[in-house]
Amino acid sequence: MTHFRISEASSLIGVSDDTVRRWGADGTLDISHDGAGRQVVDGAQLARLAQSLAADVADVGGVRRSARNRFTGLVTKVEIDGLMAQVELQCGPHRVVTLMSSEAAREMQLEIGSKAVAVVKATMVILETEKDTPV
């Protein structure tokens, strides 16, 4: 069974350490202690909470779409050169870069600091894990 320390759990779910502790206090998450006496959260329970939180914000005006990967963030860079534009978003700890037509970038009025959502539909996704994850 995978367990995460409070700081790891908060980083994985995108909230503060205090929020995870508050969820432990109000019963949203079960916080236990590992062999060293550190507070830990069960990975499976954290995953279920992450899914329920994502479901709360996933509904976009009742529109159905096949792409499930949505990253909301702030535009950090817009480079328009000829027919193409490169746009970068900072979505929490994740940097998302996209290429689009210059026309689309102008129509969307993209500028540094504006809010945007990157919708990703990928046919191949590569996952990585650490070799020896400490519990």
82-103 pLDDT tens trace = 999 999 998 877 889 999 999 9
Q: Do residues 104 and 77 make contact, with C-beta atoms less than 8 angstroms apart? A: no
| C-alpha radius of gyration, the chain, whole number | 19
User: In which band, very low, low, confident or very high, does the pLDDT at 1 lie, cut at 50, 70 and 90?
Assistant: confident
- Kindly report, as residue ranges, where domains of CATH 2.40.50.100 are found in the chain: 69-120
- Kindly report, as residue ranges, where domains of CATH 1.10.1660.10 are found in the chain: 3-58
Cα maximum dimension of the chain: 60
Q: What is the CATH number of domain 69-120?
A: 2.40.50.100
Q: At what angle do helices 6-13 and 17-25 cross, to 10 degrees?
A: 110
Q: Is the pLDDT of residue 55 over 80?
A: no
Q: Is the pLDDT of residue 60 over 60?
A: no
pLDDT at position 93 is 77
Q: Which two tokens stand for residue 18?
A: 């205090």
Q: What is the mean pLDDT of residues 22-50?
A: 92
- The whole-model pTM stands at 0.58
What is the topology classification, in CATH, of domain 3-58? Multidrug-efflux Transporter Regulator; Chain: A; Domain 2 (1.10.1660)
Q: Is the pLDDT of residue 22 over 90?
A: yes
